[in-house]
Structure 1
Amino acid sequence: MLRGTDWSSFALAPVYDIASTVVYGGLDRRMAMRIGSTNKIDEVGRDDFLALAKELDVSPRMVRRLIEEVCEGVGGAASDVLRDTEDALGAPLSKLRDIEEFARSQIDRLGIKGA
């Protein structure tokens, strides 16, 4: 979570490396910091984000809204990004497809079906 400059707004912090590294076998899937009760990216769920919100004294309602916004945004853009990138390069990209699949499984874990 990132606190805004006004100290009253929040946003989810970017996680640049997670989705791009999880598709390579043999790499550690633990994050540097835990979210809720876990530091394993494959186990993070909605309850973990809500536990983090409690630890940070942040509104659970706001965290749920952020989760939904991020999941809807990623879910809506994932196929487009994959298609556009493959079209631009003129080749199928199996690892990018794996990243999309991982993102969709995380969205499902967070309870946002069909995003």
Structure 2
Amino acid sequence: GNSVSLTSYPGQNGQPLELKCQLNLSGTNNPFTVLWYMNDYPNAIERDASNCDSVTTPTTYDLSRYTFSCQTNIFTLTIKTLSQTDDGNCWKCGVRFSDTGPTNLATTCISV
């Protein structure tokens, strides 16, 4: 079956923090995008899984704070400079296949 896990580590104020989303997608070659949601925001930052290009970025996110990387089944969102405002924020990562809604969401919460 398909699964997704999301890990982060306790972060230090003023330092970068990497959120690592690991996918285990069995036998699928369907194109998909990677979704990043913060807290209960209805919309996700969406990146193309193959080249990491932006698909959508809702205005609720300050994109200048983040960098993204996409490798085979491992996708990272890095908060460039952690601040107290990040404390307690919960992030979800997931995937969207070409014709389906979001699926396989995993969550991690940040402590600063």
Q: TM-score, normalised by structure 1?
A: 0.27
Greater C-alpha radius of gyration: 1
- Where is the helix percentage greater, Structure 1 or Structure 2? 1
TM-score by length of 2: 0.28
